[in-house]
Amino acid sequence: MMDLIIKNGRVIDPSNDRDEIADLYVVDARISAQPPAGECETIDARNLVVAPGLIDIHVHLREPGQSHKETFETGSQAAAAGGFSSIVCMPNTDPPADNPSTITWITDRARASASVNIFPSGAITKGLNGEEMAPIGSMVQAGIVAITDDGHCVQNHEVMRRAVEYARMFDLAVLDHCEDYNMVGHGVMHEGYWSTVLGLAGWPRTAEEIIVARNILLADLCETRIHCQHLSSGGSVRLLRDARARGIPVTGELSPHHIALTDEFLSSFDTNYKMNPPLRAPQDVVTLIEGVTDGTVTLLGSDHAPHAPFEKEVEFDRAPFGIAGLETELGLFLTILVHRTKAIDLNRLITLYTVNPATLLRLPKGTLGIGADADITIIDPDLEWTFRRDKSFSRSRNTPFDGWELKGRAVRTIVAGKTVWKT
């Protein structure tokens, strides 16, 4: 592996309050204060942004058991093409990642076939069934960085409380998919005007907000980090804002589709718009963006959920929830949050993708500090490009963003000093 010099770039490293035009040096796969002494690769980053490798904390990679949808190899390639040097994979695999043996298999498989860093999360409960806690301590020893039943939600509040208390023993974050099953029922889209017009069963905002409120109460009671995944409701943002103002250790995450799209898009009955939580009304989009602007929402994630074409090409009610998103999320957030609404600046966007996820999950990533791993994302924030799903690296094509014109994307992704993707 050759050493590296990245010249003339705008280096943005929020972990060190750094934003300047400078050269960046990589020696022995780590960030160096001095240029390499011998032969090295040189990259001209003039007019580009040089950032710590971006982190996506919410990715479904489908292995083991569902490799027809995605694999560590294809998912990591899609992540690299999206600008991500590190991703956190969810445990709703087949079998679920609810024991140390499966976690070890995931870690070994990722090490052998992935082109980016993959950090596994473990299930909160056995079989993701919400009834009995998984062996959290053993999974920590096997290498998990968080626990979550994502794809499912623990309905039993006592089980959730004990899991949160147990996680505190290991300084482990609890990530939660917020959905009250009784309120959702058979809902497949946002409950509102368009669900009535289309004759589809509604999924009310309150079904998310009730669990967000539960998590706030448990985070306060147990004094433990609880992270609310892929928020979709304006009411959830308001609950989170009040809780954070009171110092409760609860955080929230935004996925790009929840501000790029609304429930009206489902009038086409295209199952690529079917996701959980569902696309909501325009007023929710406004409040979600406000939550990012004022610091209520502190993390961004794709909720990359690949499905094979035959799974989506069925009646709307029968189609699985979720879209593939690793390759479009950065472009969507740059387009919507930085360029179109000017809700945040580029420095803040990078913070949401580096320092904040690394802090939440205690990852040794998200920094360009001297001695840090040389994980680097080079971004052209003004590059205008069109996403084509037939060019995607993902094994699945379930995206509503085919043909979308975006502004801003990663142009090179570097992991441990090695370029794993470039335009």
Active site residue 294: no
Q: Are residues 319 and 385 in the same domain?
A: no
Task: For 295, list phi and psi in degrees, rounded to 5.
Answer: 90, 10
Residue at 373 is within a domain? no
Query: What's the CA angle centered on 367, arms 361 and 373, to 5 degrees?
Result: 95
Q: Are residues 165 and 40 in the same domain?
A: no
pLDDT of residue 109: 96
Q: What is the pLDDT along the chain (423 residues), one digit of tens a residue?
A: 689 999 999 999 999 999 999 999 999 999 999 999 988 999 999 999 999 999 999 999 999 999 999 999 999 999 999 999 999 999 999 999 999 999 999 999 999 999 999 999 999 999 999 999 999 999 999 999 999 999 999 999 999 999 999 999 999 999 999 999 999 999 999 999 999 999 999 999 999 999 999 999 999 999 999 999 999 999 999 999 999 999 999 999 999 999 999 999 999 999 999 999 999 999 999 999 999 999 999 999 999 999 999 999 999 999 999 999 999 999 999 999 999 999 999 999 999 999 999 999 999 999 999 999 999 999 999 999 999 999 999 999 999 999 999 999 999 999 999 999 999
Residue at 371 is within a domain? no
Q: Are residues 295 and 309 in the same domain?
A: yes
User: Could you tell me the two tokens for 131?
Assistant: 């009834």
Q: Are residues 322 and 386 in the same domain?
A: no
Residue at 44 is within a domain? yes
Q: Are residues 9 and 131 in the same domain?
A: no
Q: Are residues 224 and 256 in the same domain?
A: yes
Residue at 375 is within a domain? no
As a whole number of angstroms, the distance between CA 204 and CA 191 comes to 5
The CATH number of residue 390's host domain is 2.30.40.10
Q: How many domains does the chain have?
A: 2
As a whole number of angstroms, the distance between CA 387 and CA 350 comes to 21
Write out the residue range of the structural domain in which residue 417 sits. Answer: 3-48+380-394+396-422
Q: Are residues 309 and 286 in the same domain?
A: yes
As a whole number of angstroms, the distance between CA 83 and CA 330 comes to 8
As a whole number of angstroms, the distance between CA 82 and CA 391 comes to 13
Q: Are residues 250 and 291 in the same domain?
A: yes
**Residue 5: left if φ>0, alpha if ψ -120 to 50, beta else—which one?**
beta
The CATH number of residue 338's host domain is 3.20.20.140
Q: Are residues 200 and 228 in the same domain?
A: yes
Residue at 212 is within a domain? yes
Residue at 145 is within a domain? yes
Question: In this structure, are residues 144 and 103 in contact, taking their beta carbons and an 8 Å threshold?
Answer: yes
pLDDT of residue 1: 67
Residue at 90 is within a domain? yes
Give 154-178 as a DSSP string.
Answer: ---HHHHHHHHHHHHHTT-EEEE--
Give 289-308 as a DSSP string.
Answer: HHHHHTTS--EE---B----
Residue at 308 is within a domain? yes
Q: List the beta strands (DSSP E) in 202-263.
A: 202-203, 226-228, 250-254
Q: List the beta strands (DSSP E) in 149-249.
A: 173-176, 189-190, 202-203, 226-228
Q: In a 3-state reduction of DSSP, which class is residue 193?
A: helix
Question: In this structure, are residues 403 and 387 in contact, taking their beta carbons and an 8 Å threshold?
Answer: yes
pLDDT of residue 2: 80
Task: Give the predicted TM-score (pTM) of the model.
Answer: 0.97
Q: Are residues 309 and 168 in the same domain?
A: yes
Q: Are residues 62 and 91 in the same domain?
A: yes
pLDDT of residue 38: 86
As a whole number of angstroms, the distance between CA 179 and CA 264 comes to 22
Instruction: Out of 303, 373, 375, 380, pick the active-site residue.
Output: 303
Q: Are residues 202 and 337 in the same domain?
A: yes
Question: In this structure, are residues 166 and 134 in contact, taking their beta carbons and an 8 Å threshold?
Answer: no
